[in-house]
Amino acid sequence: MELSSDEEEVRTFIKVISEKYNPENFPYGQGVVVMPSPPGSPIKDRLFLPSALVLSDCGISKAGDRSTIAAFCAHVLELDLSFNQLRDWGEISTIVSHIPHLDFLNLSMNPLSGVELEPSMAYVFSRVQRLVLINTQVSWDTVHTLTQNTPELKELFLCLNGYNTVSESQTTCPSLRLLQITDNQLQDWAEVRKFGLLYPSLSTLVLANNSVDSVEDTKETLECLFPSLRSINLNNSGLSKWEDIERLNFFPKLEEVKAKGIPLLQSYNTQDRRSLLLAQLPSVMVLNGSTVSPGEREDAERFFIRHYQHCPEQELPQRYHALVSKYGKLAPLAEVDLSPRCTVVDVRWGERVEAVSLRLEQTVGELKKHLKALLQLPSKGIRLFYINREMCSVFGPEELKCSFRALHSYSIRDGDEILVMPKVKSRCSSSGI
């Protein structure tokens, strides 16, 4: 009996394994182990499969022979099935049920929209600790069915699934520590609040690239909902009020925050953004991926006081008063003049004396050129001697020999003298010696 073209095109999990890990595709040598096939298996000799099995973008839509999956995947711990054509939870359950020690499962980019997982099948996922469902469009009902049957689940990835709401569940997932739900359409804090109810032990919450426009709730509520939250990522969210940043302090264990690309900070430069955020978040140890040093924190808090100290009383943030209690009211920073330093010296050329203003950052060579032009000195060589008027009786004139040395290194002061002398050829230069 001939197979139809549709049947011929079906790519099963087992078929892909047989192709990818066939001994014919690998040179024999050290480290290559060939396993004999189980009795009755349609697959002949096989390579020993790695414990982390990557079968992404292989066109898989079916499981294939169950006994063969069990025979060759008994030791597999991690399975990457991303970018395949799995659209039936029955097929996925068949694969998973025959991999008894599976710890990590990646189903990203499989078309699971509108396909529900039957609760009776969900028990096979019980050993999974890390589950990736990125861009699967999987429903919240199926997410809840999975989390209810994965008592060891620690990490859950739900990015790019088009969620604008979060469905509640009567059953929590107390084992979950990390939830990454970036690039969805969540906007109201009322939806984010549900994560605290669903995942009471959550330590890391990644909300980047959503449109969450506020952080609401009282201190008591956030302490109750997120008692273990240590890290939150709000990059490219819609936060626009400093009150939202202040409320992050209500999370009792929070020590890492990411808040880049939010409307609130658009009008500040990069350094001021970081300083103002740091000053508002006294318990945060890592901000936007960078560890906060004690010195940086103090500088940020002092900057915060000066930033707000001229605002009307009713506009002062609560944090301002706490920092003034810590540091007191600070004087404005002194204006630092970074313009080139100058000094006025007497330049002596023979009987002629001229008061000349010197830029002390210039070199000796530059000074010679300057004096030749200013005083119309001869174009032939000249020598310069520096005379410190206070110490000249002790040290005498000091020749400025090095053309590349800066004038400030000589400690020249107002009222000192520069003596210009013509350069005379040595008597030995033409003596033939």
Return the minimum-mean-pLDDT range out of 22-36, 76-90, 231-245, 329-343. 22-36
Query: What pLDDT score was predicted for residue 336?
Result: 54
Q: What is the band of 69 on the pLDDT scale with cuts at 50, 70, 90?
A: very high
324-381 pLDDT, tens digit each: 999 988 877 655 555 556 788 888 888 888 888 888 888 888 888 888 888 787 767 7
Q: In what order do the strands lie in the sheet with 342-349?
A: 352-359, 342-349, 417-422, 382-387, 398-399
Torsion angle defined by CA atoms of residues 309, 310, 311 and 312, in that order, rounded to the nearest 10 degrees: 110
* Torsional sign, CA 258, 262, 264, 268: positive
**Contact by Cβ (8 Å): 142, 168:** no
Taking all residues of the chain, what is their mean pLDDT, rounded to a whole number?
88
Q: Which CATH number fits domain 342-428: 3.10.20.90, 1.25.40.10, 3.40.50.970, 1.10.645.10?
A: 3.10.20.90
Average pLDDT of 196-223? Answer: 97
44 pLDDT above the threshold of 90: no
Region(s) of the chain under CATH 3.80.10.10: 11-327
**Contact by Cβ (8 Å): 67, 41:** yes
The whole-model pTM stands at 0.74
Average pLDDT of 19-40? Answer: 59
Query: What pLDDT score was predicted for residue 154?
Result: 98
The whole-angstrom separation of Cα 244 and Cα 108 is: 33
269 pLDDT above the threshold of 50: yes
The whole-angstrom separation of Cα 190 and Cα 192 is: 6
Q: Which residue has the tokens 């040595």?
A: 426
Region(s) of the chain under CATH 3.10.20.90: 342-428
Torsion angle defined by CA atoms of residues 406, 411, 413 and 419, in that order, rounded to the nearest 10 degrees: -70
SS3 343: strand
- 94-99's contacts with Cβ under 8 Å and 24+ in sequence apart are 94/63, 94/66, 94/69, 95/13, 95/63, 95/69, 96/124, 96/125, 96/128, 97/124, 98/66, 98/69, 98/70, 98/73, 99/69, 99/73, 99/74
Q: What is the band of 25 on the pLDDT scale with cuts at 50, 70, 90?
A: low
Annotation: CATH topology of 11-327? 3.80.10
* Torsional sign, CA 58, 59, 61, 64: negative
Query: What pLDDT score was predicted for residue 32?
Result: 43
Query: What pLDDT score was predicted for residue 101?
Result: 96
The whole-angstrom separation of Cα 291 and Cα 368 is: 51
Percent of the chain with pLDDT over 90: 62
4 pLDDT above the threshold of 70: no
Q: What is the band of 170 on the pLDDT scale with cuts at 50, 70, 90?
A: very high
Percent of the chain with pLDDT over 70: 87
**Contact by Cβ (8 Å): 152, 177:** no
Query: What pLDDT score was predicted for residue 361?
Result: 85
